Amino acid sequence: MIKSTTLSPPVLTPAPGHRSGAGPSQDGPRRPRRRPSALLSRTGVTAMLALATLYTLLPLLWLVLSSTKSRQDLFATNGFAPGHGFALIGNLHHLFDVDHRIYLRWMANTLLYAGVGALLATVFSVAAGYAFDKLAFPAKEKLFALVLLGVMVPGTAMAIPLYLIAAKVGLVNTFWGVFVPGLVFPFGVYLARVFSASYVPDEVLEAARIDGAGEFKAFRRIAFPMLAPAFVTIFLFQFTQIWNSFFLPLVMLSNQKLYPVNLGLYVWYSSALSQGHPQDYLLAVVGSLVSVAPLLALFLMLQRYWKSGMTAGAVK
């Protein structure tokens, strides 16, 4: 006699990590995704960038429009409205001829302070940053900590101590009293060390040393060409900083023939407000527009190197 057997259906076990739709998952109920805030959305970011651009360009637009007006239109019309005639050429002629061409003297002083000073400061900064990165010498990190301390101290806080030091050595009211402080750029040393670590491989320098190159030759022939984007970036930072310097020349100089352009424009603006010379106000406006032109030209010429320098070390 044959016994019949009943086959039970196989029991299916869920695969590891499989979540059944009938019940809650082992990790708990899913949390609803948070929507990004309105400020972080694409529309919000675009709006903030548009406001930042508008905030940056509006003063320049006002400066351009005001420089094309006559003295009467400057005070009689809205700042963002064009004048009744185009007086920019006449304003420029008056700017360059007034007070025995003192404005051209101020521009030449500023080019010397900023151009030559920034160039030398960049050379010193790149050399120091390379040394801090590639060379071994006693108390290296402690000295670099002092450099970082100099980065954190604002330049305006150093103006009075620099004036007292210059008074001791007889540099007050001289060209060197403003020029020499511009040769020190702690932030440039910090940037140069970062760039050196990103751009200059240790293996290349080691190969150069094996071939008989000294440290100075290895820096001049191998490391320095690799640091060209760093050089341009540091130069632009220091050039802009010296060009916009105001408080140090204010406390250091009393001879108008040594003034940089910023201090000269401040003298004209103060004369217009305190002594009632409205023609000086127009000179300050037109002179401000002309003083911006070298900075714009320099950034446009060197922006390719500057952009590549700013992205150094971003990708490994």
Percent of the chain topping pLDDT 70? 84
Q: Does 19 map to a domain?
A: no
Q: Does 48 map to a domain?
A: no
How does DSSP assign the chain, residue by residue?
-PPP-PPPPPPPPPPTT---SSS--TT-SPPPPPPPPGGGSHHHHHHHHHHHHHHHHHHHHHHHHHHTS-HHHHHHS-TTS--SS--HHHHHHHHHHHHHHHHHHHHHHHHIIIIIHHHHHHHHHHHHHHHHHH---TTHHHHHHHHHHHHHS-GGGGHHHHHHHHHHHT-TTSHHHHHGGGG--HHHHHHHHHHHHHHS-HHHHHHHHHTT--HHHHIIIIIHHHTHHHHHHHHHHHHHHHHT--HHHHHH---GGG--HHHHHHHHHHHHHHS--HHHHHHHHHHHHHHHHHHHHHHHHHHHHHHHHHTTTS--
Q: Does 16 map to a domain?
A: no
Question: Residue for token digits 């010397």?
Answer: 112
Give me the domain span that covers residue 120: 66-77+84-310
CATH number of the domain encompassing residue 210: 1.10.3720.10
For residue range 251-281, list pLDDT tens digits in order: 999 999 999 999 999 999 888 887 777 778 8
pLDDT(12) > 60: no
Q: Does 52 map to a domain?
A: no
Output phi, psi for 146, to 5 deg. -65, -35
Q: State the total domains in the chain.
A: 1
Give me the pLDDT at residue 302, please: 82
Q: Does 116 map to a domain?
A: yes
Q: Does 43 map to a domain?
A: no
pTM strictly above 0.85: no
For the ranges 114-128, 196-210, 218-232, the maximum mean pLDDT occurs at: 114-128
For the ranges 38-52, 239-253, 260-274, the maximum mean pLDDT occurs at: 239-253
Give me the pLDDT at residue 1, please: 42
Q: Does 22 map to a domain?
A: no
Q: Does 165 map to a domain?
A: yes
Average pLDDT across the chain, whole number: 84
Confidence band of 29 (pLDDT split at 50, 70, 90): low
For residue range 103-130, list pLDDT tens digits in order: 999 999 999 999 999 999 999 999 999 9
Confidence band of 74 (pLDDT split at 50, 70, 90): confident
